[in-house]
Amino acid sequence: MAVYTEVGDEELKQFAANYDIGEFLSCKGIAEGIENSNFALTTATGNFILTLYEKRVDPDDLPFFLGLMDHLAEAGIPCPTPVHGKDGDALRSLCGRPAAIVTFLSGMWPRRATPGHCQEVGRALAEMHLAGSNFKMSRINALSVKDWRPLLARSKDHADEVAPGLAKELAAELDALEKGWPEGLPSGVIHADLFPDNVFFRDGRLTGMIDFYFACTDMFAYDLAICLNAWCFETDLSFNVTKARRMLTAYRKVRDFSTDELAALPLLARGSAMRFLLTRLYDWLNTPKGAMVTPKDPQEYLAKLRFHQSVKGPADYGLD
């Protein structure tokens, strides 16, 4: 369940007065998502998404997120567009939470990704990277390599309860990542969380990318590595090289990556796996029983990390 804050009728009525999008006709909670309270909003002029930003989102970051969506939408990237109120502001408050309304995107996210989906994601990701190149705001990646050791420290005392020897294995991997993490690769705005449930399709065509609330300024190749992990493994955690080839090839047709980016991709993929493993590990160990959100198994990303440790070159990702 992804509704942490309930909205009353009177509060919604007062909130509606700030906008010029017609009478609010219905407001229904959306079960998917884990970070914020989301509602499907229908007004006299159409369908929208109302989001209340919960405690895990830093309010100081919201102007970046909303400004980025405005910028990308204006550039033709299929993403939600923030709805500005009568006063011109897109960000306001509802039920004691920062809140915003964005446009509704049609389509469904793929429950099982195909090579065709991966190709579309590669193309759209490259287009997003290019479109964001002249976005004037920036945001530090708060979950990059320098943040992983402190995150592990919060879980290491109980990590071996998840898998024997896990704490030692992750500490050794962090040593390697910190020593080898690349610098100077092409960078700009990245999505940083482009999982299948954040991408909509219709008739095999990508129609929308959503949930930009981890977006930040970082290496483009790192964003691509996140997508390799999110899209190119099967349910048995085997790596699908066909999916990877289709994704990377489609990306390169829009924005070719350099020799240095290609060489760094295996290490970046290991780092991506580490980032999601550590956040899942913390949630797995600390989410109370009966909580509204079911934590995801960190061992999925442990398997992905081990795969990337075994990669010997571009051919393992389907490239010549």
Confidence of residue 33 (pLDDT cuts 50, 70, 90): low
> Average pLDDT in the 95-114 region?
95
* Percent of the chain residues past pLDDT 70, beyond the cut: 97
Give tens-digit pLDDT for 71-88.
999 999 999 999 999 999
Q: Average pLDDT, stretch 95-120?
A: 96
CA distance 122 to 94: 37
Whether residue 197 is predicted with pLDDT greater than 80 in this model: the reply is: yes
Q: What pLDDT score does 211 carry?
A: 93
Is it the case that residue 181 has pLDDT exceeding 90?
A: yes
More confident residue, 266 or 3: 266
- What is the model's pLDDT at position 1? 39
Assess whether pLDDT exceeds 50 at residue 186. yes
What average pLDDT score do residues 147-162 get? 96
Q: pTM above 0.85?
A: yes
239: which residues sit within 8 A by CB, 6+ positions away? 232, 233, 307, 316
Mean pLDDT of 23-34: 83
Q: What is the pLDDT of residues 270-284, one digit of tens each?
A: 999 999 999 999 999
Domains of the chain, with CATH numbers? 9-103 (3.30.200.20), 115-317 (3.90.1200.10)
pLDDT of residue 290: 63
Lowest-pLDDT choice from 33-42, 119-128, 274-283, 310-319: 33-42
